[in-house]
Amino acid sequence: MLDIRVVRDDLDSVKRALATRGVDASVLDELWDTDQRARAASTKRDELRAEVNSISKEIAQLMRSGMAESAESLRERSRAIGEELSQWESRAGDLETERRDALLKIPNIPSREAPVGASEADNVIVRWWSPESGMHDGSDIKLPDYEDYQRKPHWEVGSELGILDLERAAKISGSMFPMFRGLGATMERALTYFALDAHSDAFEEIRPPTLVRTATMISTGHLPKFEEDAYRLERDDLYAIPTAEVPLTSLAKDEILREEELPVRLTAFTSCFRREAGSAGRDTRGLLRLHEFDKVEILAYTTPAQAAEMHAELLSRAENLLQQLGLTYRVLDLCTADLGNSSKRTFDLECYSPGTGLWLEVSSVSWFGDYQARRANIRFRSSETNQIEFIHTLNGSALAWARIWAVIVETYRLSDGSISIPEVLRVYMRNLEKIPAK
């Protein structure tokens, strides 16, 4: 949520920044107008409260002086002001709610470092990596020389080997739900253990609830913006989480941390649930787009000064996992129009899928500034000034497994139809070296 003081102090700058995200200036004009009316109503309410309190003191003094008749006259005046006060309290409350509702719908102001663009076509490729070539800048990506047997899509390979059963998953739950079987399920689990162990040096492992309250979804910005994509249990007013970012962000909701406690580093494995309501007409074959998938998340609370370094750390950790898995990937700096609603700046990691010929997003690493912290009311006390400030939140997927699973199955497919297991996963797969061909 934006700091309303920024809107008050420099409305034109906010308009220019959010115009790069496609936000119409009229939305901000309406917010500014609502804020002005809310502030005026609050001022009038506070003036009337002060007047009632002043009269109460006068009445008490008159009663002590034995001037009951004069005191009664003031009581009538106080009652009349009280009725007016009640109306202004109601009006101020309504306008404050209207202002908050408007703020909840407005996206974050992008970082000045984020590239300005009108669509995902304007995202900037920062660098790319492949096991054969190593790291390079964003120009002239050279893909590995994939063999024909690696260019078979994962849904066909998985079906042939009996490690991916989409037909029975659809029978059980409907389309866009996966079911891994045998060594396919083992490899999905191995990926989770691999990632959690990789983050255990610095991140506290959390197993959060999978169902959360409405306020928890609001805190990250998933509501009200993405309500159509959320799975809701109406009877209990709970939502199935779309990412572990949601419960982890609210871990310190309504708390004031000490600066010495920051940064806080958290990691969690959860299933994630998304309706993908806007996926009509998009590629939903195999594991490319799912309603349910497993993911390991890394998330941090920082001071504003720590945020840039933490953003780089989260990105480095996600990249390191991809390098250990030996998967070709590229890093995209998302342009302003393609940023998530709550993000100031985001780097996406995309792996190349030789079986589909597509670059698949497998991680988003984002810095949110104090946007989420304002919603969740998470603050810290500065050790230098003793002032209370909002923390900054950052998070990243490290990693989301369905698409990683798909890219591994395609990339590591051998000429005999078997799949070589990436070396870093073998210790988690009973030291097996291959998923054998049928």
Q: pLDDT tens, 131-150?
A: 999 999 998 999 999 999 99
Mean pLDDT of 219-228: 94
Question: Is the domain covering 120-435 a CATH 3.30.930.10 domain?
Answer: yes
Please name the residue that has the structure tokens 């059980």: 172
- Which positions ≥6 away from 311 have C-beta within 8 Å? 345, 365, 367, 394
Question: In the predicted model, is pLDDT for residue 314 greater than 80?
Answer: yes
- Residue 207's pLDDT band, with cuts at 50, 70 and 90, is very high
* Adjacency order of strands within the sheet including 388-390: 256-258, 379-381, 388-390
Report which of 341, 348, 345 is spatially closest to residue 322, judged by C-alpha positions.
Answer: 348
Contact at 8 Å (CB) between 303 and 392?
yes
pLDDT band at 62 (very low <50, low <70, confident <90, very high): confident
Of 357, 323, 339, 393, the C-alpha closest to 152 is 357
Q: Is the pLDDT of residue 349 over 90?
A: yes
- What topology is assigned to 4-105 in CATH? Helix Hairpins (1.10.287)
Q: What is the predicted pLDDT for the residue at 281?
A: 64
Q: How far apart are CA 178 and CA 170, in angstroms?
A: 8
Q: What is the pLDDT of residue 280?
A: 66
Q: pLDDT band for position 91 (50/70/90)?
A: very high
Contact 360, 351 (CB under 8 A): yes
Residue in this structure with the two tokens 């406690």, named with its chain if needed: 261
Compute the distance between CA of residue 422 and CA of residue 199 in angstroms, rounded to an integer.
Answer: 19
Full-model pTM: 0.94
**Is the Cβ–Cβ distance between 210 and 241 less than 8 Å?**
yes
pLDDT band per the 50, 70, 90 thresholds, residue 65: confident
Average the pLDDT over 329-355 and give the result.
Answer: 98
pLDDT of residue 77: 85
List every span in the chain annotated with CATH 1.10.287.40: 4-105
- DSSP class of 382: -
How much of the chain exceeds pLDDT 70, in percent? 99
Residue keyed to tokens 């003036």: 47
Q: Does position 100 have pLDDT exceeding 80, yes or no?
A: yes
Q: What is the pLDDT of residue 311?
A: 98
The H or E element spanning position 135 is: strand 134-137
Of residues 349, 379, 380, 352, the one with CA closest to residue 366: 349
Q: Backbone phi, then psi, for 274, in 5-degree steps?
A: -140, 135
Identify the weakest region by mean pLDDT among 28-42, 74-88, 94-108, 195-209: 74-88
Contact 300, 373 (CB under 8 A): no
What is the location of CATH 3.30.930.10 in the chain? 120-435
At residue 291, the pLDDT reads 97
